[in-house]
A and B are shown apart, each in its own frame.
Chain A
Amino acid sequence: MKALVHVALKKTVLDPQGQTICRSLASMGYSGIRDVRQGKYFEIELENGATAEQVEKIAREVLTNPVIEEFTCDLEESGRPEADR
């Protein structure tokens, strides 16, 4: 099983990196882009027995700084090749 954790700055926190990307896109001629927010993405390979609660705890305690960031967690069953089954 794999945990997919997305970390992003809270909506209330200014994201100067996202803003810079947004301005660059506009100057490159891309239209229709209202805003860009930059974040981080973690893929965590789990042993059997690891729980969603455990992943949430890791995301809360280590992967994010709760003062400025928030996260979403998703679990994905590993798609093993047929031959392995």
Chain B
Amino acid sequence: MKFGVVIFPGSNCDHDAFYALSHNLGKNTVFLWHQSEDLEGSDAIILPGGFAYGDYLRTGAIARFAPVMRSVRRFADSGGPVMGICNGFQILVEAGLLPGALMRNRGLRFICRAVYLRTETTDTPFTSDLRPGQVLAMPIAHGEGCYYADAGTLDQLERDDRIVFRYATPTGEPTEEANPNGSMRNIAGIVSEGRNVLGMMPHPERASDPLMGSADGLRIFASLASWLAQGACQEAVRLAGLVRHTL
């Protein structure tokens, strides 16, 4: 099992994500350079936080044209799990891999603080090890994290159970006060129609060790790892069946 962390010029959470996956989770992890289309056989791709290409034009607007994104799109289209964190989420919506847009925070300020998230669905590779409604603590750090989509898109996301995390109180109530940036319907993270592309504004890699104040973020990476392991196991069983059949 191999995780690939993409480095764009201006990424600044790439090493944090790498450390969370390689050290805290103990999985084989590689960096992927934005100019290369080679995903080096990665089984899951992380688009980390930061300010890719300086966030010029719009957040994520230039990064979506990077060579690596051509491979990421193909990888996602074929069902591979892709996780965009913060700036990574912004890149995914700009690339059209996720619906909606991320706009300037309601209060116009850059916000860097801990928030609570309510797990809205466990039917994704990223939350399969969590309990429905489970509250996770982790930080946000963004100026453009206000999730926007038209009412039809929001209704569709709800109908399809594609809202993964909502900003909530410590007890899991998605109230107006718990919404740090004005995101519509308190949305902090969503998945694609195929459920294999996750975008989330909060930073799980910054909550991946008790020393950081929370290790809740590691549960998301751990879910993804066990989902990948399960897939590999099923594939092995399928191949064994094929071999038996052939013999």
Known contacts A62-B57, A62-B61; A68 and B108 CB within 8 A of each other = no
A67 and B106 contact, Cβ closer than 8 Å, known pairs A13-B148, A62-B57, A62-B61: no
Contact indicator A16/B101 (Cβ below 8 Å): no
Contact A68 B104 (CB under 8 A): no
Our count of residue pairs bridging A and B at CB distance below 8 angstroms stands at: 30
A51 at the binding interface (Cβ < 8 Å): no
The answer to whether the Cβ of A63 comes within 8 Å of any Cβ in the partner chain is yes
Q: Are A16 and B104 in contact (CB under 8 A)?
A: yes
The reply to whether A68 and B61 form a contact with Cβ atoms under 8 Å apart is no
Determine whether B58 belongs to the interface, using a CB cutoff of 8 Å to chain A. yes
Query: Contacts A67-B100, A67-B148, A68-B148: A17 and B58 contacting too (C-beta < 8 A)?
Result: no
Question: Counting CB contacts under 8 A, is B93 at the interface?
Answer: yes
Closest beta carbon of chain A to B201's beta carbon, Å: 16
Decide if B104 touches A65 in the complex (CB within 8 Å).
no
CB-CB under 8 A for A20 and B108, given A65-B94, A67-B100, A67-B101: yes
Whether B108 pairs with A65 at a CB distance below 8 angstroms is no
Choice from B57, B99, B108, B148 contacting A17 with Cβ under 8 Å: B108
Contact across chains for A67 and B108 when beta carbons are under 8 A apart: no
Interface size bracket, A side: 10 to 19
The reply to whether the CB of B130 lies closer than 8 angstroms to some CB of chain A is no
Interface contact B104-A17, CB-CB below 8 Å: yes
Give A45-85 as 1s and 0s: 1 = Cβ < 8 Å from B's Cβ atoms.
Answer: 00000000000000000110101100000000000000000
Q: Which residues of B contact A63 (CB under 8 A)?
A: 57
34-65 of chain B: CB within 8 A of chain A = 57-58, 61, 65
User: Which residues of A have CB within 8 Å of B58?
Assistant: 65
User: Which residues of the other chain, B, contact A12 by a CB distance below 8 angstroms?
Assistant: 150
Report if B240 contacts A (CB, 8 A): no
Return chain A residues, CB-CB under 8 Å to B57: 62-63
Residues of chain B whose beta carbon lies under 8 Å from any beta carbon of chain A: 57-58, 61, 65, 93-94, 99-101, 103-108, 148-150, 182
Tell me the A residues contacting B by CB distance below 8 Å.
12-13, 16-17, 20, 62-63, 65, 67-68
Per CB-CB distance, the 4 closest pairs between chain A and chain B, nearest first, are A67-B101, A68-B101, A65-B101, A16-B108
